[in-house]
């Protein structure tokens, strides 16, 4: 595509992505041969690939910023953090899913789909070229459609269908947007687009950006691409729901940030205002819709939509302050851990799925419900959890970028969100429930829930060390 191609085509630069993709392909082959009770090996391999990827990403993070494969893939703090969070999140989801799927006829398929979707998220996070972004979008979406309907039951089919239809529509819109931006900027690589779009006709850039945003917001699960979230989350199994609301979001938000900070940074476009409006819409709609939900998964689904709204605060002021990048990355990490923690509790208690079923459950499962309190109050932003510090940084970034009103709206929304989280937690602790209830629980999921809850507090307390690592320049 440009003359620099051929200068740096070292696949080792993409080691985390390559590892996960290779493990997926190898798993698919192995799965065809392994007996059913040994299929878990492919899952274990996926876990190993995640761990290897995290190590590789951490090592790569220590090196100077560069781009790989021409200028199409950035290796900078944004990619590094997203890689670690995505792979860590995938690892947690794998651990949640493995005990449930043991000796399932389609066990391997699940792991393969999960890994491919995670690779898609990784590509989204690092893409430095619109075409690669589109490829990442498809790679993150197509396996996820299959995951949503993996149970092959009524709600699962509905979930997959809705997810697919919205995804296909917005995907086409996204490709249109890419075409328009190509027409406007005569390139798809971000560095070239940055200078070209600055002089391109504003209307063309605006139309192209809007269409492009539709696709990215679909992956992020933010308004207006959020319609699939509640149904897909409610209809799919709890681990898949955890995956869908966490992993693609990280890739998409990183991609969105990069779009705002690099190719569109100098364009004649009200980027900040646009994202601010989307942010307000996401948090407000998500919160309002969550208010009277009865199903806990659906409630969490709407809560993730509102979280996208908060996560868009630093995206709105991308590249304008000294705080936005750190704020986004830290919040993403905190959000991923906390949200996965909340879903782990849901996984660990397969019986109840309505809020009323949680009444008095704290007597039977004090530690699990304690973790739920930490995670949900964490999502509200109660100190000293990680999301609190993330919100603090995000609010500060918005303030610093001249969007104080956005921080105020986010604060008001935060209060509103407290209401529905309390609707869930309070009866669990305060109502009289069935004492000595012996409903089955998943021990692995419970351990992950404890770990995620403790981790979100620890991440908050150790925020100083983490924040220091997240700074640094983006790839040019």
Record the tokens describing residue 356, joined without a space. 């009323």
List all residues 6 or more positions away from 3 whose beta carbon is below 8 Å from its beta carbon. none
Q: Which is nearer to another protein, 102 or 405 (CB)?
A: 405
Least distance from C-beta 311 to another protein, angstroms? 17
Residue 206, both tokens: 């605006």
Beta bridge partners of 129: 189
DSSP H helical segments within 349-385, as ranges? 361-364, 366-380
CA distance 23 to 28: 8
Q: Are 433 and 361 in contact (CB under 8 A)?
A: yes
> Is 67 strand, coil or helix?
strand
Q: In sequence order, what are the beta bridge partners of 74?
A: 67
- Least distance in Å: CB of 284 to another protein? 15
Q: Collapsing DSSP states into helix, strand and coil, what is residue 277?
A: helix
CB of 197 vs another protein, minimal distance in Å: 30
Nearest CB to another protein, comparing residues 75 and 398: 398
C-alpha–C-alpha distance, residues 238 and 234, integer Å: 8
Q: CA separation (Å) from 125 to 218, 219, 404? A: 15, 12, 28
CA distances from 416 to 63, 227, 289, 291, 419 (A): 43, 21, 11, 8, 6
Q: Which is nearer to another protein, 23 or 396 (CB)?
A: 396
Residue 415 Cβ vs another protein, minimum distance, rounded to whole Å:
5
Minimum gap (Å) between residue 381 Cβ and another protein? 8
Counting Cα atoms < 13 Å in the Cβ hemisphere of 253 gives 39
DSSP assignment letter at 127: B
Least spacing, CB of residue 210 vs another protein, in Å = 31
Q: Which two tokens stand for residue 43?
A: 């899952």
For residue 410, give every residue at least 6 positions away whose Cβ sits within 8 Å of its Cβ, in sequence order, or none: 279, 283, 309, 310, 313, 391, 394, 395, 398
Q: How far is the CB of 254 from another protein (least distance, A)?
A: 20
Q: How far is the CB of 204 from another protein (least distance, A)?
A: 36
Q: Which is nearer to another protein, 259 or 342 (CB)?
A: 342
- Residue owning tokens 């897909």: 232
Burial class of residue 415, CB neighbours in 10 A (0-12, 13-18, 19+): exposed
* For another protein, the closer CB: 285 or 327: 327
Please state the closest distance from residue 452 (CB atom) to another protein, in A.
19
Question: Smallest gap, in angstroms, from Cβ of residue 257 to another protein?
Answer: 19
**Which residue number, 205 or 410, has a Cβ lying nearer to another protein?**
410
Closer of 22 and 416 to another protein (Cβ):
416
Find out whether the peptide bond into 224 is cis, omega within 30 degrees of 0.
yes
Give the footprint of another protein on this chain (CB under 8 A).
Answer: 326, 377, 382-384, 389, 392-393, 395-396, 399-400, 404, 407-408, 411-412, 414-415, 418-419, 422, 426, 429-430, 463-464, 467-468, 471
Q: 244 vs 392, which CB is nearer to another protein? A: 392
Quick one: 9 or 437, whose CB is closer to another protein? 437
232 versus 374: smaller Cβ distance to another protein? 374
């Amino acid at each position: 595509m440009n003359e620099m191609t051929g200068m740096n085509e070292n696949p080792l630069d993409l080691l985390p992505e390559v590892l996960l993709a290779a493990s997926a392909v190898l798993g698919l082959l192995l799965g065809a041969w392994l007996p059913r009770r040994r299929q878990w090996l492919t899952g274990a391999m996926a876990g190993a690939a995640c761990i290897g990827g995290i190590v590789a990403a951490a090592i790569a993070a220590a090196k100077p910023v560069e781009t790989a494969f021409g200028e199409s893939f950035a290796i900078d703090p944004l990619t590094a953090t997203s890689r670690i969070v995505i792979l860590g999140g995938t690892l947690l989801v794998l651990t949640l899913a493995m005990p449930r799927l043991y000796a399932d006829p389609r066990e391997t398929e699940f792991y393969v789909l999960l890994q491919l979707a995670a690779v898609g998220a990784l590509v989204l996070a690092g893409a430095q070229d619109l075409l690669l972004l589109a490829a990442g979008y498809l790679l993150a979406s197509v396996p996820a459609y299959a995951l949503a309907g993996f149970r092959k039951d009524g709600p699962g089919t509905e979930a997959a269908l809705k997810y697919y239809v919205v995804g296909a529509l917005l995907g086409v819109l996204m490709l249109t947007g890419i075409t328009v931006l190509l027409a406007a900027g005569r390139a798809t690589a971000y560095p070239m687009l940055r200078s070209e779009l600055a002089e391109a006709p504003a209307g063309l850039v605006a139309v192209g950006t809007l269409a492009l945003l539709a696709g990215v917001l679909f992956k992020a699960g933010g308004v207006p691409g959020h319609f699939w979230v509640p149904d897909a989350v409610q209809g799919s199994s709890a681990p898949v729901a955890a995956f869908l609301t966490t992993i693609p979001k990280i890739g998409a938000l990183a991609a969105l940030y990069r779009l705002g900070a690099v190719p569109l940074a100098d364009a004649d476009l009200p980027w900040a205002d646009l994202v601010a409006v989307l942010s307000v819409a996401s948090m407000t709609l998500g919160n309002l819709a969550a208010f009277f939900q009865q199903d806990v998964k659906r409630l969490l689904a709407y809560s993730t939509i509102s979280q996208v709204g908060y996560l868009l605060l630093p995206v709105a002021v991308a590249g304008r302050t000294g705080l936005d990048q750190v704020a986004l990355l830290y919040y993403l990490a905190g959000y991923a851990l906390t949200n996965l923690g909340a879903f782990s509790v849901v996984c660990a208690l397969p019986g109840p799925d309505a809020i009323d079923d949680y009444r008095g459950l704290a007597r039977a499962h004090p530690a699990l419900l304690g973790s739920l309190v930490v995670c949900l109050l964490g999502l509200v932003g109660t100190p000293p959890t990680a999301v609190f510090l993330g919100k603090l940084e995000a609010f500060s970034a918005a303030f610093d970028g001249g969007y104080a009103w956005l921080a105020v709206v986010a604060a008001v929304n935060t209060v509103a969100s407290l209401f529905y989280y309390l609707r869930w937690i309070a009866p669990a602790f305060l109502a009289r429930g069935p004492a000595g209830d012996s409903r089955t629980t998943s021990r692995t999921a419970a351990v992950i829930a404890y770990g995620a809850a403790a981790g979100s507090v620890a991440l908050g307390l150790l925020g100083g060390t983490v924040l220091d690592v997240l700074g640094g320049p983006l790839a040019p």
